[in-house]
Chain A
Amino acid sequence: MSVLHWRDMPLSGGSEWSGYVASGERVHAVAPLPDQFDWLDHCYRSEKEQHVWRIWLETGSDSRRSGSQEFFGNVSSMLVGRGLMANLSMRENLLLPFLYRTDGEALARAAEAVDGVAEYLGMEDHLDERAGERSTYTHALVSLGRCMLQRPEIIIIQDIYIGMMPERAAKFRELSLPVFDELQSGILYFSGSQHEGSGLRFDRTILAEGD
């Protein structure tokens, strides 16, 4: 069981917020967009760029600071319109975290599983195409595919449905909800409003509002 904690994260109004999300739990964080980006930016800073740790993952007695490779081995993200590197193929995009890490076994396992994942997502015919410019829906699909390959303890989602056409959003809900149920990961869902349209049933909602 892992728990993602954050403490004293600054809000645009000058106040701060803290919280946590545990594996299997679904938490909805409603925050203004700049505060969402501040949170994400802090979370994704590499270890050498961080001076104060405000986000960490606790697994048993282990504590993994945000920015460390161990942290990213257990935490995946799905960010709106930010699922693809344009100059890589779709397959490389799905395997990118594994290609960067130095774990050869995990890479071999992911490379073996990638065709099955692509088939589930309906993108098996486009795997070796260059990503280039794609729709929000494809960005979301690739992010979901990476979560399926990585099987993380915690998934951070940022308003993934924004900009998606209604029929695509329905299709994505159909694909993603069974995956989230199967993975049993903790979900931290960031959005700007309480009506986010993800179809997820949240255990808790945090309103992160400045003064």
Chain B
Amino acid sequence: MYLLQLNVQADRIGDATLRMAAGVRRYFMLLWYGVLGVIGLGWLRRPAVLHVLVRQIYFTGVQSLVWVLVMILFAGVLSVFNIVAFAKGIEDLSKIGMLIGTLLVQEVAPLLITIFLLARSGVAVVTEIANMHIRGEDLLLGSLGIDRQEYLYLPRMMAFALCGVVLTFMFVALSIWFGGLVVAWQQEMNLGQFLVEVKRSTGLSSLLMMAGKGFFYPLLCCVLLIDQGCRVGRDPNEIPVRSTNGVVWSLMMIILLDVVIGILWSFL
């Protein structure tokens, strides 16, 4: 009896491991096709793909601008103000640049923008892809000789990655600028002096890290969201389950990845 239970348990663990391995493989295949598609540049010659790309950029990036501005005014400016207040508290203004470079530029901005994109467009990606499967639009695309990966997935991945890096850059630049204005207005510090401190300590490596995270975090999330959308199959009841999975797993993946990058970065 005990041996039987042990066998059942081993079967379950084995099944779960195989499912997980298949999921990981599917994820990396999608990512690989996406990378190959972007590098191939075939999409540039296809008006239909460009049209989807423009629409995705509009939805993911342009329509998000107002919300990103709100985040800048609240989260970004508050972060800068608190950093300056902290540096003044410990009477070491030279820490301002270092703290802004490490906290705001490298960590908060890419994470916040990725979480924002996930909240705003994550569910949309999963439900759109899932609905297309359910309505049989993937078969229609196939019947027209249209590569589903190139037409459906590639524009979404590119839009997430491009909007991610642009919005992250915007968040950082405007947060520092508006934050500096608030700091000067509160007579905490002179604006010129603040900008000099920021410039002194925010080096190229910080900017590269910001750009890399701002590009890859949304891209990796988008691939996971697309994968979840594809897994709905023909069952509409799966859509809410897969949407939730997509958003939550993306969030966990990014947080874990950020921890790993943080640890590796500390050794360099």
Interface positions of A (Cβ within 8 A of B): 40-41, 44-46, 67, 69, 71-73, 77, 79, 81-87, 92, 96-97, 99-102, 107, 146, 156
Contacts and interface: CB of A to CB of B under 8 A. Distances in A.
Contact of A72 (B137, B139, B144): B144
B49 A100 contact: yes
Contacts of A84: 137, 140
B140 A79 contact: yes
A41 B142 CA distance: 8
Contacts of A81: 136
A82 B136 contact: yes
B48 A100 contact: yes
A146 B144 CA distance: 10
Contact of A44 (B49, B137, B142, B151): B142
A71 B145 CA distance: 8
A46 B143 CA distance: 10
Interface of B: 45-49, 51, 128, 131-132, 135-137, 139-149, 151
Contacts of B49: 100
Contacts of B45: 102
Contact of B145 (A69, A82, A83): A69
A84 B128 CA distance: 15
Choose among A41, A45, A67, A77 the residue with the greatest number of B CB atoms under 10 Å from its CB: A77
B165 to A, nearest CB: 26
Nearest to B44: A102
Contacts of B147: 46
Contacts of A82: 135-137, 139-140, 143
Given A79-B139, A86-B137, A96-B146, 18 more contacts: A40-B139, A40-B143, A46-B147, A69-B145, A72-B144, A77-B143, A82-B137, A82-B139, A84-B140, A85-B141, A86-B131, A97-B146, A99-B48, A99-B51, A100-B46, A100-B144, A100-B151, A101-B145
Nearest to B33: A48
Nearest to A142: B140
Contacts of B149: 46
Return the 9 tightest CB-CB contacts between A and B, nearest first. Answer: A72-B145, A44-B142, A99-B48, A77-B143, A100-B48, A82-B136, A97-B144, A82-B140, A102-B45
A99 B43 CA distance: 11
B48 A83 contact: no
Nearest to A146: B144
Nearest to B136: A82
23 contacts: A40-B142, A41-B139, A44-B139, A46-B142, A46-B147, A46-B148, A69-B145, A72-B144, A79-B139, A82-B143, A83-B140, A84-B137, A85-B132, A85-B141, A86-B135, A86-B137, A92-B51, A99-B48, A99-B51, A100-B47, A100-B151, A101-B145, A102-B46
A85 B140 contact: yes
Contacts of A146: 144
A83 B140 CA distance: 7
Nearest to B137: A85
A87 B137 CA distance: 11
A31 B118 CA distance: 44
A84 B143 CA distance: 12
Nearest to B149: A46
